[in-house]
Structure 1
């Protein structure tokens, strides 16, 4: 997406991995640096990220004068404090941005409890490939979010990858599959490299072979309508080397292990939502 004629202004609260990945992705996509503002708890870290990407810095108690999308990208354990301060800041401001949360496990309903009732909330689950423009992000709307709000959020997130809409009750599963998914791929790469070295290859050769194989295989997944069974079968000759390896994988119940792992991630996402204790009544805009 070209931002040459765009007036979208984005503020990112949280400069951890996901927060910086979004900033890096937006800059890489061509969004003007002056349209991006970062807010963080650590002054040193915040200014380091701002300097690295050439973006602006603000304070949660002194929000930018203009902001269209305000991204909350903090740890679940920090979100109650951040939302409390953000709610106070928005009640004292004329700003009415779309609040986009990328915090795992925290529902739009809980977020809305802290904010003026006219502030729309959209929840998203991206993943770290956004810094390369290769993210896949699922979004779900809160009660006050309109079609226009969703399109605005999509215009931002599409600059760093693919965006799809889901119902909010699916986001915990999305977190387990794609939000945490890159770590699974990196673990597979790590295990393959270790196994290759055990077969006598040096680390550099093993690393280049494994990373090249995974990158090339991933590229094949992106070509047209992919049938995974057919792709696997094309590599697997009867009684050949690939068949011997796959037989070991299937014998180890690897499919059940993956199911159990993703279920554990999904359940942790659900558990994280219990860590936030919002007010019982949502603050009305009339209380501004």
Structure 2
């Protein structure tokens, strides 16, 4: 299996790392290209042993998968630059937010296209990734896509119409957790802890809770920690008083709406 990464940023690097680390692909089967940053391409070549796409772009012609990993505003130019080199059976795997399968096919023709939304935890092999694909993607290609994406974390197959919600919950989700961690740390300091101690306590509390989330229902876990009239109950009461669930709901809604808007802006 040969893959060409069009775009060479942090997401492409995370995926390359996962593919090589899980032995899904050999470095010799991965090629990278971008618009102009030669130093970045040379770094990836030296760090992982992958290939840089040459001027003739024959790597594109031999590719089974093309990974699109750039900003939405750069998609049109990127696809325009590679379209004539694509083979009929090549699968386009896009991790670009907001750009639809239909739009990509308008630019490259009736090729099989998949859209995935990983998150930055791909760097440590723990991304929560949602993926949707066009009807042209064969069953074998679907299995290969699952293998590629599972090398960076968990994979959930969804309808394309659900990808905006995936973007909000999983794509942006890590940042929301980090923001919550910031707030907990600041509150700990305001309550008398040193910054070092508060940071350590928050970091390990969230890590431990994350492990527990894999083992039981979320609500049941919360109830087990919440003794009647205890400290946790007092804190939960404050969250309820300040409409915490509404705030989170609005956060997800706004992120999802922005994903939709990105698609409209591109088209």
Question: Given the alignment, which residue of 145, 168, 174 partners 1:182?
Answer: 174
Alignment of 1:144-163 (within 5 A): 144-163=136-155
> Could you tell me the TM-score, scaled by structure 2's length?
0.92
Does the CA contact (< 8 Å) of 1:112 and 1:121 recur in 2? yes
Alignment of 1:1-288 (within 5 A): 8-30=1-23, 31-41=25-35, 42-58=37-53, 62-64=57-59, 66-90=62-86, 94=87, 96-117=89-110, 119-223=111-215, 226-277=216-267
Partners of 1:125 and 1:162 in 2: CA distance: 11
Partners of 1:160 and 1:13 in 2: CA distance: 18
SS at match of 1:274: helix
Q: CA deviation at 1:59?
A: 5.1
Q: Which runs of 4+ in 1 moved over 3 A?
A: none
Task: Decide whether aligned partners of structure 1 residues 63 and 232 sit closer, same or farther in structure 2, where only a CA change above 3 A counts.
Answer: farther
Does the CA contact (< 8 Å) of 1:61 and 1:89 recur in 2? no
Q: Which runs of 5+ in 1 are unaligned?
A: 1-7, 278-288
Q: CA deviation at 1:77?
A: 1.3
Does the CA contact (< 8 Å) of 2:14 and 2:152 recur in 1? no
Q: CA deviation at 1:71?
A: 0.7
- The higher relative CO (CA closer than 8 Å, separation ≥ 6) is in 1
Task: Decide whether aligned partners of structure 1 residues 103 and 193 sit closer, same or farther in structure 2, where only a CA change above 3 A counts.
Answer: same
> Could you tell me the TM-score, scaled by structure 1's length?
0.86
Larger mean CA deviation between 195-204 and 260-269 belongs to: 195-204
Partners of 1:100 and 1:49 in 2: CA distance: 20
Aligned residues: CA RMSD: 1.7
SS at match of 2:164: helix
Q: CA deviation at 1:167?
A: 0.9
Partners of 2:74 and 2:255 in 1: CA distance: 20
Q: Which runs of 5+ in 2 are unaligned?
A: none
